[in-house]
Structure 1
Amino acid sequence: MHDDAGDVERPDGAVATPREPRDGAASAGRPATGNGTGRARYAFLGPEGTFTEAALLQVTDPTEAELVPCLDVITALDLVRRGEADFAVVPIENSVEGGVNATLDSLATGAPLVIVGEMLVPITFFLVAREGMTLEHVRRISTHPHAWAQCRGWVAEHIPGAVHVPATSTAAAAALLATDQDAPGFDAALVSPLSAEKYGLQVLDTGAADNPHAVTRFILVARPGYVPEPTGADKTTLMVHLPDNEAGALLSMLEQFATRGVNLSRIESRPIGDSLGRYSFSIDAEGHIAEERVQATLIGLHRVCPTVRFLGSYPRADGHRPHVRPGTYDADFRAAREWVSRLLAGLAV
């Protein structure tokens, strides 16, 4: 059974095309708000000072929006589902650690959401502490598990024996250091430069990371009803299930992209969760649903896969334009359809 809420093929067989922004908003990626104030509500992984907030500041002016910090990714996305926020900004992929499972899994299930934009944030970690703390006295370090994974080599080299104290976000650890008058259970925190500034903590090191080139990709998520206009440098994100116990099912799914000249910039498997050995695939494809080759791919997927969830077409943050193979331009698809129409009409070819 296909996931009708997220499918791109309507019951009449026609492929859906990009719709106008809700309530007549004109700004790409920013449909008008539904709370009557004119101030868009942005849920994000908080508290203030996270890398997520740094991504959020790329898409909105905090003086013109209502920012809603959340304890975790799932809460931020659910606020949008319930209409208590207009957008959510959440991480989806890190250049070192890969996909953010909480985001991928939440988008793949529940009431549909769509991605309407993406942001890239270079990841630099500061080691911070209260005034008077020195590097040689640090024994317990708090931060988000993803941050710890990107800094554990540096910690092993510079602070041998230091242990990790998990936090819900990098900023949550900084906030505890800054506000907890008693011992918060750790000596220092690995945080974003924004957190170090916001919470006024002593900086022990400004380069506490294993990979100085790390980048995290964040997405701007909204309820369905708006697809940003194509720019020529776009992505389309999908979640796809394969048929059970069918030899070659993965190859058949991938052929839908390859035969239409659609390149994949990311593909990750995630357990469906209903039984052992069943997986879905989270996919980023180069192109926009308004393009003929992407529409043809989606129709192909709809034919051979039991579930296809459309998660949005939106501008790429890096502006990269895909290489379009001869025979897969929009004009090529239109010309082929017109040729078949002439054949059906009995006209000479």
Structure 2
Amino acid sequence: MPRIAYFGPRGTFTEQAAAAFDAHAELVPLPTIPLAVAAVRAGEADLACVPVENSVEGAVSATMDTLAGDAPVVAVAERVLPVRFSVLVRPGATFADVQTVASHPHALAQVQQWLGKHMANVTQLASTSTAAAAVGVLAGEFDAAVTAPVAAAHYPLAELATEVADESDAVTRFLVLSRPGALPEPTGADRTSVFVVVSHRPGELAAMLTELAMRGINVSRIESRPLRNRFGEYRFYLDFDGHIAEQRVGDALAALHRRSQRVRFLGSYPKADGVASTVTDGTGDTDYRESAAWLAALRRGEDA
């Protein structure tokens, strides 16, 4: 039974994502994203489940920065969950009793329209997670918490509202991380994640993307984060279709390694949506094998 550390406490969307990955796993809540990933790096957990991006608020910077630091970890799976919130209060409380409402900043940002309509004069406060806000309500620190629905099963609080969301189709993507080792087998519907530090010269970002484009690789996400010790320079996080076991992806990664200051491989894993990657003419594994055989014959002096 694997031990999965996750961004807690109990009652977060991350707990739901971890359980969706393995319903039989031992789930271990930790108070921050860095601590959940550190548990894997230290061998205290087999896996870690952390949020990486939200369709409304974008990338989760704490996850991106944690992936870049210390010993490498790699993603072995992703999960995507629809985001609908519950508003929890102490039993017996009504809308009129709520003077403060708390949640993680990403959660508060996703319910601003709802709060403006139903709690316009309420003070909004940030907490370290949605579930931490529920704990704060229990402790009397806040009057209400915007939480994942699963929190209602963990804490003796009442649901003041459910199915709360400004965007009806909002989702959050989560990564399941492990220490480097055997990678998931390619499925034909895979995603590869890396971060790259390019040379600080004109055109280097375009050149990096060209290495992928010329091999028919579709980039699905690109984000930048500043290098903390080099003001004005950035590391770029890339998600693109394909698996490192594919020749075109391996060839592209080798090219990025040759021309960049640093490349960290963050994993090749099945996409949550199961949509197969498109392989353009001339970029499939068979094409690479045939061209390699042709070149080898030329080098042997044969008529190819």
- TM-score bin (small chain): over 0.9
Correspondence for 2:150:
194
SS in 2 for 1:328: coil
**Distance in 2 separating the partners of 1:298 and 1:140:** 49
The equivalences for 1:80-229 within 5 A come to: 80-178=40-138, 180=139, 184-229=140-185
Correspondence for 2:190:
234
Correspondence for 2:262:
307
Matched, 1:281 2:239: no
SS in 2 for 1:324: coil
Q: Which amino acid aligns with 1:288?
A: H
Q: Which amino acid aligns with 1:301?
A: L
**Distance in 2 separating the partners of 1:289 and 1:198:** 40
Correspondence for 1:42:
4
Matched, 1:55 2:4: no
Q: Is the 8 A contact 1:252 1:304 kept in 2?
A: no
Q: Is the 8 A contact 1:42 1:89 kept in 2?
A: yes
**Distance in 1 separating the partners of 2:264 and 2:281:** 28
- Structure that is richer in strand per residue: 2
**Distance in 2 separating the partners of 1:177 and 1:306:** 47
The structural deviation recorded for 1:198 is 2.3
**Distance in 2 separating the partners of 1:345 and 1:54:** 58
Q: Which amino acid aligns with 1:135?
A: F
SS in 1 for 2:243: coil
**Distance in 1 separating the partners of 2:179 and 2:95:** 46
The structural deviation recorded for 1:299 is 1.2
1:314-339 deviation digits (Å, cap 9, x = unpaired): 00111011211111111111111111
The structural deviation recorded for 1:275 is 2.0
1:161-209 deviation digits (Å, cap 9, x = unpaired): 212221111111213333x2xxx22111101110023223211111322
Q: Which amino acid aligns with 1:49?
A: G
Matched, 1:297 2:259: no
The equivalences for 1:333-344 within 5 A come to: 333-344=288-299
SS in 1 for 2:272: coil
1:190-246 deviation digits (Å, cap 9, x = unpaired): 0111002322321111132211211100111000012100000000000000102x1
**Distance in 2 separating the partners of 1:338 and 1:73:** 47
**Distance in 2 separating the partners of 1:328 and 1:309:** 23
Stretches of structure 1 lacking an aligned partner (at least 5 in a row): 1-38
1:33-59 deviation digits (Å, cap 9, x = unpaired): xxxxxx321110111111000001111
SS in 1 for 2:93: coil
**Distance in 2 separating the partners of 1:196 and 1:104:** 29
**Distance in 2 separating the partners of 1:137 and 1:186:** 11
> How many pairs does the alignment contain?
304
Q: Is the 8 A contact 1:136 1:159 kept in 2?
A: no
**Distance in 1 separating the partners of 2:248 and 2:122:** 52
Q: Is the 8 A contact 1:155 1:208 kept in 2?
A: no
Stretches of structure 2 lacking an aligned partner (at least 5 in a row): none
Q: Is the 8 A contact 2:18 2:27 kept in 1?
A: no
**Distance in 2 separating the partners of 1:193 and 1:68:** 19
Q: Provide the TM-score with structure 2 as the length reference.
A: 0.97
Q: Is the 8 A contact 2:192 2:242 kept in 1?
A: yes
Greater CA drift, 150-159 or 247-256 = 150-159
Q: Provide the TM-score with structure 1 as the length reference.
A: 0.85
Q: Is the 8 A contact 2:134 2:145 kept in 1?
A: yes
**Distance in 2 separating the partners of 1:279 and 1:326:** 34
Greater CA drift, 131-140 or 235-244 = 131-140
Q: CA RMSD in A?
A: 1.1
